[in-house]
Amino acid sequence: MTTSYDDFYPWAPLALRRECTCFTSDHFITRYRRGQQLCQSNEQDALVARCELDEPVCADTSTDPSGPFCFFYSTLFSKVGLRLPLSFFEKELLTVLNVAPAQLHPNSWAFVRAFYVLCTHFGVVPTSNAFLYFFEMKKPHKHMWSSLSSVGVEVY
């Protein structure tokens, strides 16, 4: 018996539940990996696994011998410049926000990356406390991505 997105996400709009990943063939994954850097150093450290058609993202893979895994949006690597392993700052921020990488809206990841790049460029150690001085978590709607928005800071 196949479990569908409908069983896991009855609250989600039908159009969203019908959205499928393009990572369903080894050919596509090979093509993607040739043109995309995922890791800061050794590309062999990241395994991109093929998804089954209609496989829910919350499928139980506890019997999977490949070990722990995490879902990411390909946009985070191709457009935002995220690289694995995540930096201490990125891991710390996700922990403080209490979200998984795929729960944070891709536009919010752009804020995180920009903050990290600026801090490292100017020789400042990026911390979650410093980041949260400028940004705050938007109260998410029920069952939606978590998003960040800028905090109104007065500059004198």
Neighbours of 129 (CB within 10 A): 10
Express each pLDDT in 1-19 by its tens digit: 455 667 766 766 666 666 6
The tokens of 108 are what?
A: 């919010």
Distance, CA of 7 to CA of 56 (rounded, Å): 9
Could you give the CA distance from residue 153 to residue 156 in angstroms, rounded to a whole number?
10
Query: What is the secondary structure of 49-113 as a DSSP string?
Result: PPPPTT--TT---TT-TT-------HHHHHTS---BSPPHHHHHHHHHHT--GGGB-HHHHHHHH
Please check whether residue 96 is in contact with residue 112, taking contact to mean a CB–CB distance below 8 angstroms: no
What is the spatial distance between Cα 83 and Cα 42, in angstroms, rounded to a whole number?
Answer: 11
pLDDT digits (tens, 9 = 90+) for 17-75: 666 677 778 888 888 888 788 888 877 777 777 777 766 555 555 555 566 677 777 88
